[in-house]
Each structure stands twice: as C-alpha cells, then as structure tokens.
Amino acid sequence: MKTQDFARVVTGTAFHTPARDRLEVLEDHAFVLDTSGTITRLLPPDHPERPALIEAARQRGVLSELPEGSVLIPGLIDLHIHAPQWPQLGKALDAPLEAWLQKYTFPMEARFADTAFAAEVYDEMVATLLAHGTTTAVYFGSVEVAPNLVLAEACLRHGQRALIGKVAMDDPDNCPPYYRDASAEEGLAETRRFVTELRALAGDDPLVLPVITPRFIPSCSDELLAGLGAMARELDCHVQTHCSESDWEVGHVAARLGQTDCEALSGHGLLTDRTVLAHSNFVTGGDMEIICAHGSAVAHCPMSNAYFANAVFPLRAAIERGVKVGLGTDISGGFSPSLFDAARHALMASRHAASGTDPALPPETRGPGTRPLGTVETFWLATASGGEALRLPIGQFREGYRFDALAIATNAPGSSLRYYPALDPLEELFEKLVLTADRGAIAEVWVDGKRRLD
C-alpha cells in the first residue's frame, strides 16, 4: 500500500456492536483513515501489510497508538437534546410537561435570543458534551434563527458532529406571545432561512446539518406542520419532533385531530427515512407500522420519560417490530449530559417494565415477562442503532464509516471503570464499560478522524 493512501493510522483494541445482539472485539487492530476521517481499512495484527504501514505512519508522524489498558469504542450518539435548556440541567423537574414548558422552559429558551448569552452557554455546553463522549448530537435549538447559528459555530469550532433544528412553533393557544413564530408563514420562512444559512456556514462535507423541527403537534398549526413536511422533502433535510410523549400530549392530539401523533405526522409528510421521533411512549401497534413503513426512528429518552411520560416506552415491542430506536438525553427533561447514563436508565426502565413493579401481585401476573435489554443491546442503542437512525456512516468501526471514537482508559484516577486483566476477559470488560464508564474514563474523543479533546 502506498503511504499517501492514508492520513492517519490508529492502533488499539476496539469494541463495537455491528448488530443488535452482537459484540465484536477487534483486538489490536489498525484503523487506516483518509483525510475525511473515513476508515478505509481495518487491519488485524497478523495482516502482512501491517508492519510496513505502521512504520510509514510513524515516520510521517501520523501514528496514534492506544496505550496499554485502553480500548476504543464508537462515539456516543445523542438523538434528542434541547440546547437552550442547558442552563436548566438538573432542576425545575417538579411540574408535568404542559406546566413545565410554560413555567420554566419557554422563558429559558427565549433568553437565547441574546446571542452573546447563547455564545457563552453553547461554547461550554458543546465542550462538556464532547468530554462526556457525545460525538454526535441531534439538537432542538430555539425559535429565533441567530442563536441556532451560534450553536452551529460552537459545534464546528469544537468539532462535534451535530444536527440542529430551528424550533418551529406558532400556535397561540399553546405558545406564549414572547416565544413563538408570529404565524405559520413566518415559521416556514424562518426555517427556510435557517437551513440556507446553516448550510452556507457548514460548507462541503458538513459536520453540522440542519433539521426541520416542528416542536410538537400541540404547539404547531396544521398549516405549519404541512408546510414543514413539504419543506423537508424540498430541501432534503432530516426531521425531528416530539411524538406521543405523555397522557396530556396524546390526549391533546386526539381531541384536536382525532388521530394519533404518528397518523397526523404522516399525513403532514413529516415522517421520512430521516425523521427522529422523540419519546413515542404511547405509540400503538398501528403507529409502529406507520413508523416502520416510513423508515423513521424513535429517540428513546428514559430519563425524561421518568418525569414526564406517565409510562415506559415499549422498547422491546418496538425493536421486535423493526422500529429503529436510538437514545436521547432529552436535556433538560433528562438530568444528565451523559449518553452512558441514558443507556443505563434505558436498561433499568426495560427491566422494571419486564418484571412489572407491583410487589402485591404474584410474579406470574406482575409484568409482561418480556426480555429486558442486555448490555450489548444497550450499547448498540447508544452507538450503531443511533447511526442507522440518522442514516449516517457512524456508530460502528467499519470500512466506509467515519472514525468517530472514544478512547476509554481503564483504571483512570477518579473513574469507576476498574479493570483486572486476570479476572476480566475482554467481553466482561465491555460489560463493565457499559455499566460504569464515566467522564473520567474518556481519555480521547475523535470525530471525523480528528482528536477533539486533549
């Protein structure tokens, strides 16, 4: 192989989950990257070309060798996070969804119209999320265009892959006068302007992509929803919205439209193969069929669901019906910036849902007895499945995929991830990693083949 064929070579042992139930351990592999950060080759230790390649990379100063006791994993993919709720992380969780929005959240998000405030908050937020291992974030922004472009600049500066939406919301019955699009027409025009300006900012081979973002049906007029559905196709964009989140929300949509969220969103052209539906806790079997037929995906957000959903998302049923599912922190409905925490809460919610929760009932009737999540599936949701939901080549270590990765250091000071090589075969180290890895264990963060955190 010619040395000019690569831009960097990374060597080390890696974990990834190329399928739902399959952990693959890539022991001491060499990852050959091109200038775009794409993995062009994956070489095992006994590959005949490997010694010459490693030597060439060393001589050119583009060899990155993982230290002993460290492992690589794909970067974590947060499918649902509200950027302008970052200052509210960890508080204001004492009200149901409809009151929480009006009392705390809309006033907080409205503050981001001050772009100096937005710049300060977003700079720190993006750096913190990267440090927690979130290499891709799917952001709800705020209503005004300018602060969302400030967010895009922060993502480009720090090197975080991001999908960002200008939130569209125009219904005067559910949106306060100080924080909404003045009309459906304005919501559409501003969304179009946002998409155009973000694309100009991000350039070719963009790290940051625009997302068409109706907040959810209760805050949008039918005219706005239909217009955004048409625009998603015209401008070839991802779509995100909230779907069937809580009793109140489902009831509102049923009373107003006589439909489920999925039926209404589908009718407005908002379900595509690049649509992410946050929550979807109350989806019916018919809704799951609609989601599958469009190739849309669900962002399961177990932390915020515990506060706002009034129920547990039927994750096992959704997966078995073929619904694409990834994970979201749903900051600040969720109280942690860590996708590891979201994954662990998904695991716990799944176990509670499977067993049932009422000790007064006999075990045979206490719960449905569905199979709870395992650690491999949980990790798959946070990585490979999230990448598939976005239809981006991320979340796995494969030729043709972008090298978005975390170097996890075992036994790092201040981290809970403890590795005893004599006691922990690599498969068991993986299990420990899924359940105990934390910010202190994340030694390096790579996006598009570049180190983003030192």
The site for Zn ion (CB under 5 A) is made up of: 278, 330
> Cβ closer to Zn ion: 171 or 377?
171
What are the beta bridge partners of residue 71?
408
Burial level of 425, CB count in 10 A (0-12/13-18/19+)?
Answer: exposed
> Cβ closer to Zn ion: 23 or 331?
331
Mode of pairing for the β-strands spanning 70-74 and 405-409:
antiparallel
Phi, psi of 297 (to 5 degrees): -135, 160
> Cβ closer to Zn ion: 225 or 441?
225
> Cβ closer to Zn ion: 90 or 425?
90
Count CB atoms within 10 A of the CB of residue 72.
24
- Please report how close the Cβ of residue 140 comes to Zn ion at its closest, in angstroms: 6
- Alpha-carbon distance of 375 to 425, in angstroms, equals 15
Phi, psi of 402 (to 5 degrees): -70, 145
Q: Please give the residue whose beta carbon sits closest to Zn ion in the complex.
A: 330
- Token pair of 354, please? 């499977």
- Alpha-carbon distance of 164 to 153, in angstroms, equals 11
Measured CA to CA in angstroms, residue 150 lies from 85, 133, 417 at distances of 15, 22, 35
> Cβ closer to Zn ion: 104 or 401?
104
- Please report how close the Cβ of residue 332 comes to Zn ion at its closest, in angstroms: 9
Contact yes or no for 168/148 (Cβ under 8 A): no
Rg over CA atoms, the chain:
22
- Please report how close the Cβ of residue 82 comes to Zn ion at its closest, in angstroms: 6
> Cβ closer to Zn ion: 260 or 332?
332
| DSSP states of 75-124 | PEEEEEEEGGGGGGTT---SS-HHHHIIIIIHHHHHGGGSHHHHHHHHHH
> Cβ closer to Zn ion: 210 or 333?
333
Count CB atoms within 10 A of the CB of residue 192.
18
> Cβ closer to Zn ion: 216 or 403?
216
Q: Provide the 3-class DSSP secondary structure of residue 40.
A: strand
- Please report how close the Cβ of residue 141 comes to Zn ion at its closest, in angstroms: 12
- Please report how close the Cβ of residue 334 comes to Zn ion at its closest, in angstroms: 9
- Please report how close the Cβ of residue 324 comes to Zn ion at its closest, in angstroms: 18
- Please report how close the Cβ of residue 172 comes to Zn ion at its closest, in angstroms: 21
> Cβ closer to Zn ion: 261 or 444?
261
Contact yes or no for 32/2 (Cβ under 8 A): no
- Which residue in this structure is represented by tokens 């006068």? 177
- Please report how close the Cβ of residue 192 comes to Zn ion at its closest, in angstroms: 23
Phi, psi of 21 (to 5 degrees): -110, 20
- Alpha-carbon distance of 105 to 15, in angstroms, equals 38
- Please report how close the Cβ of residue 414 comes to Zn ion at its closest, in angstroms: 31
